[in-house]
Structure 1
Amino acid sequence: MSSAVSAPRVLLVPPDTRPPTLDLPAALGRMTGAEVRCPPAEALPHFFTPGDPAALRAWLLAEAGEADALVVCLETLCLGGMIPARRVGDPLDAALGRLATLRELRRLAPHLRIYAFGVVVRVAHDNDPHEEKPYYGEWGRELRAYSTAADRHARHGGGEAEVEAARAALPPGVLSDWLGTRERSHALHLAALDLLAAGEIEHLCLTLDDTSEYGLAALDRRRLELRADDLGVWNRFDTYPGADEVPCALLTRALRWGLPPARAWVRYSGVGGPGAGLIYEDRPAGELVLAHLRAAGCVPADSPAEAEFILAVNTPGVRQAHRQPDLATVDTPHRSLPAFVDAVGRDLAAGRSVSLADLAYPNGAEQRLWKLLQCLPLAELAGFSAWNTAGNSLGSAVAFGALASLVRDRAAQQEALLARMVDDVLYQALTRAEVRGALGDPSPFDLGEDRARAEALLRRLITPRTQALWAQHFAGRGLNLTLGEAHLAWPRLFTGVFPLRVEPA
């Protein structure tokens, strides 16, 4: 693996072009000295506009011969992107034909290691008419009710009346179309499992986006697990709650190929942390941590001394909540944030690599924890993540930690670390709500004519905050910061783009 160790080249086909799904894995690769190559923009999706599978195939065939590994989103390869896969009407035969590109690549470049992932079609928690088919804006609540009733019936029996009532509440065409989209996705994932069993794929993750304890996504997961049982592929297969962070997990596998598994000591903010409940996942925090460690090729350590990195996990006291502060389920006596921060400080002082995953609230860092962290040398963290779902945060933090020992470009590592703090803390936990309030609480799905005003407010607020964060924690280390113009990834406040560059002084 001499060439792969010295300067691996990894091809990345992301689920979309948002910074956490495209820029973050590329940055993680760059800090290790790897070259992460991405397809041209016209081949990739933008919001709900599909990418170009034909252009993507051509790019892959042209690049495969000089690459060591490929990290590929099946939905982008076969259906134009993770969000378009929930909306487009492409037939299954077309999707399977595009999937055959992976077999073609293996024939063209037998040395290429292919790490693939797909996302089980979610049952969205809100009535988003843009990330789902347009009818979801009107019928989302009823589709969720059917999803829950159908899975309860499949799992426990009984409940036929609830299933029929939920079915009757929906237009037959809407339910049929929605279920058909799910079945096409499931058939695609079964075909990917066959490629895994045939040795065409090195490792496969089929994850669950915005899932819950009951629902059709959980039912689909169990069906995939049964097929994995039949094929005997569990040593190279993972299925668990996650989505946007999976490129980071599989990139970690690609870059650590040939190395022993990275050992992680998990440090929780409370003794009951492993049992904490999560909003967008179907399992408690401890089980989610184990799943994300495995997906990235890591294993739990028996002690901090033998660990390659410390995974510091801030869990809610009892269960996640949406609004801060939440004194009923998050900020409770079931954890001690001061003691947690003290422990992280001791780890840093001992020279350990520490990557911090903040899971207390979805969609942004916990403000109280961030205040307590200010006493620590935050630039010395190996990683930090607090964005979107608990799975998104965990997968990113695990990747930071597992790649810490491979870092060759300190400026690139600081850039990736700062970028997460700017997005997850300064924007998601602080600035986004202020912009929303200034705009009079606009639609979460489409800003329309308010986009330009939103971006102007965003820049005015977040630029000095970014400069202050740099000055307090990163300046004076022989590096310079250059800021680009902050803007929104899509015409909604959910995802910001914060261009920044950190270079040697």
Structure 2
Amino acid sequence: MPSPRRVLLIPPDTRPHTLELPVQLATMTGAAVRVPPVEALPNFFTPGDTEVLREWLLAGAQDADMLIVCLETLCLGGMIPARRVSDSLELALERLGVLQQIKIQQPDLQIYAFGVIVRVAHDNDPHEEKEYYGEWGTQLRTYSTAFDRHARHGAAEAGALDAARAALPEEILADWTGTRERNRALHLAALDLLAAGVLTHLCLTLDDTTPYGLAAFDRRMLEARADALAVWDHLDIYPGADEVPCALLARALSPRPARVWVRYSGLGGAGAEMIYEDRPAGELVRAHLRAAGCVLADTPAEADFVLAVNTPGVRQANRQPDFATVDTPHRHLPAFVDALRADLEGGRTVTLADIAYPNGAERRLWTLIQGLPLARLAGFSAWNTAGNTLGTAVAFGKLAPHVTDHAAHAEALLSRLVDDVLYQAFVRAEVRERLVSPSPYDLGEQRASAEAHLNELMVPRIQQVWEQHFAELGLALSPGEAYLCWPRLFTGVFPLHVQPDND
């Protein structure tokens, strides 16, 4: 029997989606994933220890088959710290050099890397961005849009750019754009490593992006360099971020291209607009399929799996229910659910991505699918941005043929239902209502109270979902105590352990 494939993962941070979910996906296929000591990883906006990470990588790579590495964590201390730290470009590039050093020592080692093009945050968050963003975020976003419009359309946009620049203190604008330029230079250096054969595959993703802005400007510069280097066979540049470890894991552990039939909740679902991406749903789906090593199938019969995508009728909205752009006559959810039932009863491999709303599943869809055998799903995802959701769902589908540990698969699937549906779509708002004007950025002294409410509300609902959908699998569930990953309600942690029931 072949030994399990050995994977080293340096994630963007310590959130469950970026750290625990890739490990769950690997475990269900029998692969062995090692991650750095948690104290060396970034925690919220506190940078990880790049020197410890370097030494850990050098030691672990000696008996690994593949590496999956977040460039921001390796070189700048983490995805969020990369937007805040003042480390020089020279220092970041020196840290990047460890990948070339490892490749020289072990030429057959596969190195999958990913970087995140610096976002222009939609909210004035002083913790995930530099502190001044809390005061100047609106003006910086205006400058970002004006700069890109001027870059694309020329003199007609010069007045708007001048006004946007004049509205900002020079030192703040210089610091903010300088951080972006350093990170872009790091990604350009990663493209050179890809061209040199050091990297097996590279993903450069756009976090919380829009059609116009500095992220779009950066994307075009990176694409131009990719054209010059002729590296597109091993490169993806597209909207995403936190889900990329799962996508690259799927590509690495299942190298054969998978054929995918995409089923949308509305006949025009591919054209639906997203809030945090720069392209419609259909193009976003194609980008995430390619990143994970998948291609579109011509018919459902020839597909390796079905990617069922619940899209908004016209455009995503933040609050449920939304009858103006989401729950509209442009889609028919009962028919979508009927098709899901037919696929599952027909024995097809189905993974469900719910992108009707960002930051949690659509409550109406959850009601409608209660009659389906949800434990038969290959995967489910409905968290954060549409890109985060799609990349996760695709990874589940791509890895489905390789599942050897069915308890681990059930644990990964249940974890998504618990977080993406029970918490994000329902309980998070209920906890917020029990607190006193909580800040979305830092709960402060209310954190302990929030976590107490979290456990009170979540435990019975987790048990209900388990009993309704998973109890007949011959498995046992051992839930742990829930808590918040960071001092805000956005990310909960729900420890679950599923194992064979030996009773």
Q: Bin the TM-score by the shorter chain.
A: over 0.9
Aligned to 1:156: 153
2:445 to 446, 449, 453: 449
User: What is the CA distance between 1:109 and its match in structure 2?
Assistant: 1.8
Cα offsets for 1:374-414 (capped at 9, x unmatched): 01000000000000000000000000000000000000000
Gaps of 5+ in 2: none
Aligned to 1:306: 302
1-side partners of 2:19 and 2:335: how far apart?
A: 35
Aligned to 2:192: 194
1:228 to 206, 226, 229: 226
2-side partners of 1:302 and 1:441: how far apart?
A: 51
User: What is the CA distance between 1:108 and its match in structure 2?
Assistant: 2.0
TM-score, structure 1 normalization: 0.98
1-side partners of 2:393 and 2:288: how far apart?
A: 10
TM alignment of 1:87-126, pairs within 5 A: 87-126=84-123
Tell me whether 1:478 sits opposite 2:481 in the alignment. Answer: no
2-side partners of 1:195 and 1:122: how far apart?
A: 23
Aligned to 1:65: 62
Aligned to 2:125: 128
Aligned to 1:272: 268
Cα offsets for 1:426-474 (capped at 9, x unmatched): 0000000001111134110000000000000000000100000001000
Greater mean alpha carbon deviation, residues 457-466 or residues 433-442:
433-442
Q: Secondary structure at the match of 1:423?
A: helix
Aligned to 2:400: 404
Aligned to 1:32: 29
Aligned to 2:346: 350
1:367 to 363, 366, 375: 363
2:78 to 78, 81, 99: 81
User: What is the CA distance between 1:156 and its match in structure 2?
Assistant: 1.4
Aligned to 2:311: 315
Tell me whether 1:242 sits opposite 2:248 in the alignment. Answer: no
Count of equivalent residues? 500
1-side partners of 2:62 and 2:337: how far apart?
A: 47
Q: Secondary structure at the match of 1:119?
A: strand
1:468 to 459, 464, 470: 464
2:434 to 434, 438, 446: 438
TM alignment of 1:370-409, pairs within 5 A: 370-409=366-405
Q: Secondary structure at the match of 2:239?
A: coil
2-side partners of 1:390 and 1:321: how far apart?
A: 12
2-side partners of 1:201 and 1:237: how far apart?
A: 10
User: What is the CA distance between 1:42 and its match in structure 2?
Assistant: 1.9
For 1:138, the aligned partner's letter is E
Greater mean alpha carbon deviation, residues 105-114 or residues 264-273:
105-114
Cα offsets for 1:228-257 (capped at 9, x unmatched): 000000000000000000000000111013
Tell me whether 1:13 sits opposite 2:13 in the alignment. Answer: no
Aligned to 2:250: 252
Q: Percent identical across equivalent pairs?
A: 71
1-side partners of 2:293 and 2:89: how far apart?
A: 32
For 1:310, the aligned partner's letter is V
Tell me whether 1:208 sits opposite 2:187 in the alignment. Answer: no
Cα offsets for 1:39-93 (capped at 9, x unmatched): 1112110000000110001001111011110000000000000000000000000
2-side partners of 1:384 and 1:234: how far apart?
A: 29
2-side partners of 1:468 and 1:241: how far apart?
A: 35
Cα offsets for 1:156-184 (capped at 9, x unmatched): 11211100100010010000000000000
Q: Secondary structure at the match of 1:476?
A: helix
Q: Secondary structure at the match of 2:384?
A: coil
For 1:58, the aligned partner's letter is E
Tell me whether 1:23 sits opposite 2:20 in the alignment. Answer: yes
2-side partners of 1:25 and 1:351: how far apart?
A: 26
1-side partners of 2:187 and 2:102: how far apart?
A: 18
User: What is the CA distance between 1:334 and its match in structure 2?
Assistant: 0.3
Aligned to 1:46: 43
2-side partners of 1:76 and 1:42: how far apart?
A: 13
TM-score, structure 2 normalization: 0.99
2-side partners of 1:357 and 1:297: how far apart?
A: 17
For 1:479, the aligned partner's letter is L
Structure 1 vs Structure 2 CA RMSD? 0.7
Aligned to 2:215: 217
2-side partners of 1:256 and 1:462: how far apart?
A: 35
For 1:164, the aligned partner's letter is D
2-side partners of 1:419 and 1:134: how far apart?
A: 33
2-side partners of 1:72 and 1:474: how far apart?
A: 34
1-side partners of 2:230 and 2:108: how far apart?
A: 23
1-side partners of 2:123 and 2:495: how far apart?
A: 29
Q: Secondary structure at the match of 1:352?
A: coil
Cα offsets for 1:86-126 (capped at 9, x unmatched): 00000000000000010011122222100000000000000
Q: Secondary structure at the match of 1:311?
A: strand
Q: Secondary structure at the match of 1:118?
A: strand
For 1:324, the aligned partner's letter is Q
Q: Secondary structure at the match of 2:371?
A: coil
Aligned to 2:423: 427
